[in-house]
Chain A
Amino acid sequence: MVASKTGETIEQIVNEYRGRRGVILQVFHRLQAAYGYVPQEAMEPIATALRIHPSTLFGTLTFYSEFRTTAPAKVEVGMCLGPTCHIKGAEVVKQVLEHRLGLSGGDHHGGSDVAIHEVECAGHCHLSPLVYVNGVPEGPVAIAAAAELAGRIQAKVQD
């Protein structure tokens, strides 16, 4: 398990919510902010503190696409695949990035160097096709510029 970025331990976070209901999403968000993902080790303490069966807890955790159960990659590439990005060629941009970064299909998690995942449309369509590199928006990424962007992502991986 990685070290907590915010300095808070699983125990500290869980204790804040002990005995309360309707707080699971908050607990998971806090854990993800601290560790970059929701660690397996947190399941037992949460289940005990909130009196929820671990299977229910794990069911909730895996239902939501925002929660990761493994450590994020060094560079996380988020592809907006909203309708405007889609019609403006986001799919092609994604294929180019995947080819250039040596990723083919599926999520690459678990502490790898670089991973591509899809993000939901939040209405920033003036930047379409929109790509987030570690949360920083890049766009519009024309198809012709995708290879160059892949190069910059590669450089980020290496430093």
Chain B
Amino acid sequence: MQTYEALVAQAQAGFNPTRTRIQVSMDSGAQHRGAQATLDALRRAVADQGADAEVGIVGGNGMCWAEPLVRLWLPGRAPLVYGPVTAADAPQWLCDVLGGNLREDLVLGTEGETAIGGIVPFSQQPYFQVQRRNLLARTGKTDPESVDHYLATGGYAGLDKALSGLSPEDIVKLLLDGNLTGRGGANFPAGRKWDFLRTARGSEKYMVCNADEGDPGAFVNRILLESDPFLIIEGMTIGGYVTGAPYGFIYIRDEYPLAVERVCNALDQARARGLLGKNILGTDFSYDMEVVRGAGAYVCGEETGLISSIQDYRGMPRIKPPFPAQAGVFMKPTNVNNVETYAYVPGILANGPEWFSSVGLAANKGTKLFSLSGRINRLCIVEVDMGTPIRTLMETCGGGLSEGSTFKGIQQGGPLGGVIPADWIDTGLDPANFNSQGTIMGSGGLIFLDERDCIVDLCKWLTHFDSKESCGRCTTCRIGSMRMVDILDRMTKGTAVAEDLAIMQHLELVMNNANCVHGQFTPKPFNAAYKWFKAEFEAHVFEHRCPSGACRDMVQYTIDSTNATGTVATTLVASCPVEAIVPAGNSVAIVQERCIRCGLCQSAAPDAVTVGPRTAFQAPVREVRYG
């Protein structure tokens, strides 16, 4: 059995390049943008040009908008990062950079501290300056499929420290001193949770990592799982040591196939080096774990649902107590934490609790990962101090919204989260700010909205998602969420009545009695949206119109027959994707039943098509029983 020092020495020997090293970022975001083709093209180009270079992979570094990234590491120099480098660009790029032309047109920056020609170091770029990369320190710089890269960059220092002298109690104290709280959204102190399991009776206990990141629009765990899987494994191994749990499960959603592959590979490599399994690092501590691949159930992100799913049942949450620390997997004591929480543990051990607690806010310390999507210019994953204003993320990291659009708000915290309005822009991203307003910050997904987006429609979409993903065990949630969708659907169709708004608020009271947080939080998006965007709801309900124009069921396109003749008529017929425009006399007309109101005819012939409120609208004849 090799000692930690020997493992690190062996890993470091091959880490720094002795010849040109070219690495393509290979996370699933990059793969969706053709990174595999770029990698293949670079391999071919190196062979064709007879270049003295090695080609490998690295993880993604969060700059999703510039994928596929290529990292050029010349011996003795700081690495340079390029992007996007397409397969077509690759051969010429290789030829240029090996010939001494550093291709400043494609470069994003250098990882070093000093500028090279016109290439600005990342540390001097605003995008990185506003971030503090504690968890993302390694992503995009190491090969996620190599334990050696992890070891060479300080990996397993935390576990080594734990096993060479720290008692489980010491580690619990370190976590409590640092005040590490759960990153999944509930913010429960991790040290206390671990202590529950440590003091639980019996020797059959389990560590569980909740990597079922189901919130649509949140993909912060994806980067850790795909680009630095060893970090999570090390965190869980330390957890096993602290709590006395001999076995762990990491539950990864099926939509992240690359994450499953990377974590499985990482487990094999860790086992081969004696960092997992029996007698870890030559001590008498043993711990092993496996990957559980989910199968597309959002509610398995709830810890009791996740536990049911691991033990062969339908992934239905159950009423707590008993809490997982008392009866979890196979009815044995279990600890469930989020990916980010586990990922923070090795660093806290290696660098001390101050490393964690010296940043962030008094109540919520450390950094937090956020994923920016929606109407933002630059899709990215960033890590910032708790309390960083939304404006910083939106403008500095996300590059603002597209030209000419007005910031309307943010959908945050997933489908059980909420919507916040534009005047929150200078509010800090601190769970306390959200909780005090009756909403949640959630696990890190921020979806930016502009004036084109209808809050009522979005609200319907979110509630529909919750309804679809309800496990169905309690009637409160199963039927309650369906009723909410029905009402919101009426609102977006212009057939809602005034009572519907009151029923929505009553439904919230009912839903509060659901068995688990899925049901209890289903009304949250409506609540937040109604609180901040009341006028928009009222326009839908009382005036039967959608101010942003996104609710297609409220509008009707009509063709002005005098302007739609001859070639214009032909253009109109050709423009319709659903064949709803048919000849009528010497002009054309829209068959309203077929029209999906996509607006393509209006773009094709703006003078001939007008859009107005739906004339077919009829006030609903409906008895509302309520009171």
Contacts and interface: CB of A to CB of B under 8 A. Distances in A.
B293 interface: yes
Interface string B199-226: 0000000000000001011110010000
A86 B461 contact: yes
A83 B296 contact: no
Q: Main SS of the interface on chain B?
A: loop
B282 interface: no
B296 A125 contact: no
A50 B67 CA distance: 45
B313 interface: yes
A64 B596 contact: no
Given A84-B374, A92-B596, A122 B447 contact: no
B340 to A, nearest CB: 15
Given A95-B578, A137-B32, A120 B296 contact: yes
Contact of A63 (B28, B315, B603): B315
Interface stretch (B304-312, B426-434, B618-626): B304-312
Q: Main SS of the interface on chain A?
A: helix
Given A26-B293, A119-B255, A83 B314 contact: no
Nearest to A86: B461
B219 A123 contact: yes
A123 B596 contact: no
A25 interface: yes
B544 to A, nearest CB: 20
Contacts of A50: 312
Contact of A64 (B296, B329, B452, B552): B296
Contacts, number: 142
Given A92-B596, A125-B373, A25 B577 contact: no
Interface string B33-69: 1000000000000000000000000000000110100
A106 to B, nearest CB: 14
Contacts of B552: 92
A156 interface: no
B362 interface: no
Given A83-B216, A83-B217, A121-B216, A63 B33 contact: no
Interface string B291-322: 01111111000000000011111111000000
A120 B295 CA distance: 11
A146 interface: yes
A100 B65 CA distance: 32
B312 A96 contact: no
Q: Which of A50, A144, A146 has the most CB of B within 10 A?
A: A144
A82 B579 CA distance: 28
Contacts of B461: 83, 86
Contacts of B599: 143
B294 A25 contact: yes
B472 to A, nearest CB: 9
Given A82-B217, A119-B255, A22 B312 contact: yes
A7 interface: no
Nearest to A118: B468
Nearest to B316: A63
A122 B577 contact: no
Given A25-B294, A83-B461, A87-B458, A146 B577 contact: yes
Interface in B268-300: 292-298
Interface in B186-242: 214, 216-219, 222
Interface string A39-74: 000000000001010001001100111110000000
A82 B312 contact: no
Contacts of B493: none
Interface in A7-36: 21-26, 28-29
B231 to A, nearest CB: 19
A60 B32 contact: no
B379 interface: yes
Interface residues of A, number: 43
A28 B374 contact: no
Contact of B313 (A60, A82, A125, A127): A60
B598 A25 contact: no
B330 A25 contact: no
A87 B449 contact: yes
A127 B28 CA distance: 13
Contact of A96 (B249, B411, B596): B596
Interface string A104-147: 00000000000000011111111100000000010000011011
Given A66-B254, A143-B600, A87 B452 contact: yes
A99 interface: yes
Nearest to B378: A126
B313 A25 contact: no
Contacts of B292: 22, 25-26
B598 A143 contact: yes
Contact of B312 (A52, A66, A83): A52
A120 B29 CA distance: 15
Contacts of A26: 292-293
Given A66-B254, A125-B373, 4 more contacts: A63-B315, A66-B296, A83-B458, A87-B374
27 contacts: A21-B312, A25-B294, A25-B295, A25-B312, A50-B312, A59-B314, A63-B316, A65-B296, A83-B216, A83-B217, A83-B461, A84-B447, A87-B374, A87-B447, A87-B449, A89-B598, A95-B596, A120-B216, A120-B255, A121-B219, A121-B255, A123-B218, A123-B219, A123-B371, A127-B32, A143-B577, A143-B598
Interface of B: 28-29, 32-33, 64-65, 67, 214, 216-219, 222, 249, 253-256, 292-298, 309-316, 329-330, 371, 373-375, 379, 411, 447, 449, 452-453, 458, 461-462, 471, 550, 552, 577-579, 596, 598-600, 603
Top 7 A-B pairs, shortest CB-CB distance: A123-B219, A64-B295, A121-B216, A66-B296, A63-B314, A125-B373, A65-B296
